[in-house]
Amino acid sequence: MSPSPVPLSDAASTALPDSPVPYPPRYWWLKRISGAALFLALGLVILHVWWGNHAQSILQFEIAKIRAAGEPISPSQLDCGSIPDEENAAALYVAAGTMLDLTPDDARHLWSQFTAGNFDDDRLGRLVDANAGALDLYRQARGLTNSDWGLEYGKLYFDPVFPQGTNQGYLSQLVVVQARTGMSSGDYHETIECALDLLAHARALAQARAPSGYWRAMRRVQDLTNMIAWIQAGPGGTPVGETTNDDGTGAAQNAVIVLRNQLLDESFLQTALRDLCFYERVRLVWYLEACANGRLRGEILNPRLPQTHLNVCWHILRPMWTLDVAKSLRYWEHRIQGISAANSFIMARHIQMASAHEARRDVNDQFSSFTRSFTLNLNDDIGIRDFQFYYFATVASSRMAATALAIYQYELDRGKRPAQLDDLVPEYLDAIPRDPFTVADPIRYLPAAQPARLYVLGENQRDDGGHYNTQKNGWIHVEAPDIAFLLEAAPPAPPPGP
């Protein structure tokens, strides 16, 4: 028998060459880390997919609420439909703008009267005569209540081009010049008719459903109220309430009453503000869809980033931006509810919230070199604070102008101004208009001040005693400290000291 084999020792066995499985396994730590990273990446992908679906469902829920309320959420829904030219006031305003005969030098001179008070009555009168046809169309448009400016929403960068936008401003300035000419010649009835023309223009512009129309409407009302104050308080001015036409029928006084009542009808301003909220809400959704379709990513996200980086940023951070848009839709919904309910208190609180928001944004801008690469630049394009503040300022100016007209009529009937605004109720006013910045308080009246004035609190919500600032052309500045309406000419400034 052959001898049985002798077992090898453990040391000898480990020393055998070409061992199939080394012990311990090579790079075991790397394999475990790779496996953990793979599971982590898979989990993040699943979490990102869930996050995106969750964000999209929230956005769709907000959009469904808007649609259920019958409010616009797409660019096509902003268009209220075409209006026949014979019923369309905007068509007449555009035609009037096309007919304007102004050289660049004339335009600069016309503008200078509004910015610096440089009045050359002879030259301005010639401009009015040269543009009599345009001004006739401007007045004809006053008889039409509906306006379709033909704006196309949803084009490149979404913002529609306003037809004859610059000339609309020149038209209104010519009307103010025409009113000044009427005042100089003693035709005060024509002056009041010009004021009604401006107010009708503002109502037409307010129907544009775009920031360009909104700002122009606010500007026309401000021009109108400044003109009323200027007619009364300017050099040689005559109280508007004293105006009568030549045949003694009192048509001018009737026009004053119509103007006063229309100034107190703020429904078109309220509708314009609500439509602007609709516009902003549609713009948010449209921009988000434009990014999703690959359009405007550079313009909306960050034009300094390469396209590859933009695509990566978009796909990674899309859920966050979707949630941001959904949150903004809720914010605009609350604001629209406040506007629709004519709740000035809610709207006033929005101004404070917006101002705080802008203060935080100013702080964040210190770190903009980093944050702008990861921020969806959809919000605040029209200025959350600005457009609400100027709404309140315009409403305040309109209410004070109407109250001033009532004071002028009271003075005409009784030979003196009222000692207090309560004396105007109920014969001249149904009620004393309220200060829109404080909601609860009435407009303030300083009959013994030099000059006598009406005023409301400014944005600081503080009573500064009717202190106001003037622009270069002498018109009242609406920004601070208080917003005033002068009832008579301001005393001349004291001479400079030695």
Q: Where are the domains of the chain?
A: 78-265, 280-382, 411-490
Residue, of 156 and 461, whose pLDDT is higher: 461
Whole-number Cα distances in Å, 301 to 74, 155, 167, 182, 357: 21, 18, 34, 53, 20
Residue, of 262 and 21, whose pLDDT is higher: 262
Determine which of 4-8, 99-103, 188-192 has the lowest per-residue pLDDT on average.
4-8
Q: Is the pLDDT of residue 58 over 90?
A: yes
**For the sheet containing 444-446, what is the strand order?**
444-446, 453-457, 482-486
Report the pLDDT value the prediction gives residue 72, as an integer from 0 to 100.
92
Whole-number Cα distances in Å, 18 to 13, 22, 96, 193: 11, 9, 98, 108
State the amino acid at position 403 in one-letter form: T
Strands (E), 82-234: none
* Mean of pLDDT values over 451-468: 83
How much of the chain, in percent, has pLDDT values that exceed 70? 73
Q: Is the pLDDT of residue 332 over 70?
A: yes
Buried b / exposed e over 137-152, threshold 16 CB at 10 Å, is bbbebbebeebbbbbe
Query: Each residue of 107-135: pLDDT tens digit?
Result: 877 777 665 556 677 777 888 889 999 99
SS3 content of the chain, % helix, strand, coil (to 5): 60, 5, 35
Q: What angle do CA 384, 387, 392 make, to 5 degrees?
A: 120
How much of the chain, in percent, has pLDDT values that exceed 90? 25
Q: Which residues pair with 115 in a beta bridge?
A: none
Answer yes or no: are the C-beta atoms of 204 and 93 closer than 8 Å.
Answer: yes
Q: In the structure, what pLDDT confidence band is assigned to residue 43 with cuts at 50, 70 and 90?
A: very high
Determine which of 58-72, 175-189, 241-255 has the lowest per-residue pLDDT on average.
241-255
Report the pLDDT value the prediction gives residue 472, as an integer from 0 to 100.
63
- What does DSSP assign to residue 142? G
Q: In the structure, what pLDDT confidence band is assigned to residue 212 with cuts at 50, 70 and 90?
A: confident
- For the packed helices 165-185 and 121-130, what is the interaxial angle rounded to 10 degrees? 120
Q: What is the Cα–Cα distance from 312 to 324, expressed in whole angstroms?
A: 19
**CA-closest candidate to residue 385, choices 443, 335, 338:** 335
Q: Is the pLDDT of residue 68 over 80?
A: yes
Residue 52, class by beta-carbon neighbours within 10 Å (0-12 exposed, 13-18 middle, 19+ buried)? middle
> What is the torsion angle, in degrees rounded to the nearest 10, for the CA atoms of residue 130, residue 131, residue 132 and residue 134?
160
State the amino acid at position 240 in one-letter form: V
* Mean of pLDDT values over 266-279: 87
Residues sharing a CB contact under 8 Å with residue 224, sequence separation 6 or more, in sequence order: 195, 198, 199, 202, 263, 401
Query: Each residue of 363-407: pLDDT tens digit?
Result: 344 333 333 334 444 444 445 556 777 888 888 899 999 999 999
pTM beyond 0.85: no
**CA-closest candidate to residue 403, choices 438, 448, 439, 446:** 446
Q: Is 13 left (phi over 0), alpha (psi -120 to 50) or beta?
A: alpha
Q: What is the mean pLDDT of the chain?
A: 77
Determine which of 398-402, 410-414, 460-464 has the lowest per-residue pLDDT on average.
460-464
